[in-house]
Amino acid sequence: MRALVSLFPFAAACAFAAATPNLPPQGEELLVLDNGTLRLGLDRAKGGAIAWLSSADYPRNLVNHADPGRLIQQSYYAGKVLDRRAEGQSKAWSPWSWNPIQGGGVGSWARVTEFRRQSDGALFAETIPNLWDMPREPAAAVMRQWTAFEPGVDDVIVVRCEFVAQRDPGDRWGPAVPRHQEIPACYFTRNFSAMKSYLGAGAWRDETQPPGPPWGKARPPRHAMAFFESGGVGVAVFSPASTQPWNFGPHGGGASADPAAGPCMHVAPIDRVNLGPRSTYRFRYWLLVGREPQLAARLDELWRKYSAERAALTEP
């Protein structure tokens, strides 16, 4: 899949950059896509996950990154649920299944092994994830991610994910069992509190859910949901490979726009997959930022192109 980065006038670039607060400088620790319409940042210190997303219409960061479990990132579940408290497992997350997280585990960030901009402009990150329930425990797995602008479109991001399990087939978590997979896990700032499922042809359905977890469940018929702030700007996720009801809802109260605050908004498209000790799993999803009419038009376009796309699961 070829990814393109759009070019834009220098003056527009400077104006957008000047209006975007708190963005660290680009370099070895941060890779950025920026075309004057959308800006996205991968943070090496945060497992190479998506830690920044903003637009010319909303120049603040809308990604919540309060801890390694937030961000916009890969997250998978497999095997038996185990009580490992005697080994240091977090009491708040026990018992727990094998759960590699791109951002990291409780109190620890994951290690990035490759982090670069490719010749076609796409951003590439390879991560050794951490297990969520145990502080500083790397998972026997590799996560790879390619992030780019959707070809020919300046306001849509496409993300391709690859997960490779490298567990010992005889380990304590055992063989594959059916588990829900977050494709991907998304956390936004709390002010994006108006939740909507996209129905197609410009129609939306309002969704309501009290603060969780537990999260609410929604079945967006076009595999897309959007979250809007009071000014009318929304962030949408399109995940055609999802096969189950999506998790969604607020966490905490208020309307904070602080990416480091505890309160946040959550959404996770869900697929049900039997991940074995040596499974490889691949899927794509899309991110959009804009107002309702703009998002609807783009989501209709994406639906026409990719509605039949599914995730791929392979074994050795």
* Per-residue pLDDT tens digits of the chain, which is 316 residues long: 333 332 222 233 333 333 344 444 444 699 999 999 999 999 999 999 999 999 999 999 999 999 999 999 999 999 999 999 999 999 999 999 999 999 999 999 999 999 999 999 999 999 999 999 999 999 999 999 999 999 999 999 999 999 999 999 999 999 999 999 999 999 999 999 999 999 999 999 999 999 999 999 999 999 999 999 999 999 999 999 999 999 999 999 999 999 999 999 999 999 999 999 999 999 999 999 999 999 999 999 999 999 999 999 999 7
In angstroms, how far is CA 2 from the centroid of its own chain? 20
Question: What whole-number distance in Å separates Cα of residue 70 and Cα of residue 187?
Answer: 5
Contact 244, 252 (CB under 8 A): no
Question: What's the CATH fold of domain 10-307?
Answer: Beta-galactosidase; Chain A, domain 5 (2.70.98)
Nearest to 246 by CA among 289, 185, 303: 185
Nearest to 65 by CA among 57, 76, 75, 53: 53
User: SS3 for 87?
Assistant: helix
Q: What does pTM read for this prediction?
A: 0.91
